[in-house]
Amino acid sequence: MLSRTGERIADRVGALPEGLRQHIYRVQQVALDLARQHSIEEEKARLGALAHDVARTMNGEELLRNAREFGITVHPVEEKVPILLHGPVGAEILKRMDGLDDQDVYEAVYWHSTAHAGLGPVGKVVFLSDKLDPQKVSRYPFQRELGDLAVKSLDRAIFEFLNRELVSLLQKGSLVHPVEVEARNDLAIKML
Ligand SMILES: [Fe+2]
Ligand SMILES: [Fe+2]
């Protein structure tokens, strides 16, 4: 089941712009390494990473239109920052058009931008791998520490990332999606 869907997803990714494709392949490599280190199903981690940015080339208008068409509830923060919808819209496209019926892969794609309280292991791996793409080091200068932490604990790494991300958003006076705050608090409640 995953393999036929996997082929369709690979075709879809193959049609994406070169730069985005290279990002996806780097994320896939990080995801495979993390999955192995944490004994998480490699095939799901690989597929989630491959699939995570299938809707990344859509503009804000297309994302909002698709989200509404797919019945995704659009949060006021997403109305203002529609790029946050590329995970949810991508996940729905894969489910509706490519036969994706694996819930772990679906949620990994859906929540890869904000994370989510109670995100499963495959989702955690894909979320972190996306941030650990070596080409994103200028955006995330703490990437090396994040990578080291991710080997020890996916939860601690995501907690650390979300803390930094939320501080940075607040410092800039940007909008904060509540789901990201909830994800952070969920990890805090488990760990603190
Ligand atoms: Fe993305
Ligand atoms: Fe990405």
pLDDT (tens digit, 0 to 9) for every residue of the chain, 192 residues total? 458 899 999 999 999 999 999 999 999 999 999 999 999 999 999 999 999 999 999 999 999 999 999 999 999 999 999 999 999 999 999 999 999 999 999 999 999 999 999 999 999 999 999 999 999 999 999 999 999 999 999 999 999 999 999 999 999 999 999 999 999 999 999 988
Whole-angstrom distance, CA of residue 40 vs CA of residue 2: 16
CB 164 within 8 Å of CB 149:
no
Q: How far is the CA of 135 from the centre of ligand 1 (A)?
A: 14
Contacts (Cβ under 8 Å, ≥6 apart) of 165:
180
Q: Which CATH architecture describes the domain 2-191?
A: Orthogonal Bundle (1.10)
Ligand nearest to the CA of 112: 1
Which tokens is 174 given? 């940007």
Ligand nearest to the CA of 56: 1
Ligand nearest to the CA of 114: 1
Contacts (Cβ under 8 Å, ≥6 apart) of 138:
none
For residue 191, the one-letter residue type is M
* CB-facing half-sphere around the CA of 2: CA atoms within 13 A: 15
Q: How far is the CA of 38 from the centre of ligand 2 (A)?
A: 21
Q: How far is the CA of 191 from the centre of ligand 2 (A)?
A: 27
Q: How far is the CA of 189 from the centre of ligand 1 (A)?
A: 27
Q: How far is the CA of 112 from the centre of ligand 1 (A)?
A: 6
Domain residue spans of the chain: 2-191
Whole-angstrom distance, CA of residue 20 vs CA of residue 17: 6
Whole-angstrom distance, CA of residue 53 vs CA of residue 51: 6
Q: How far is the CA of 114 from the centre of ligand 1 (A)?
A: 10
Ligand nearest to the CA of 24: 2
By C-alpha distance, which of 145, 187, 144 is closest to 162? 187
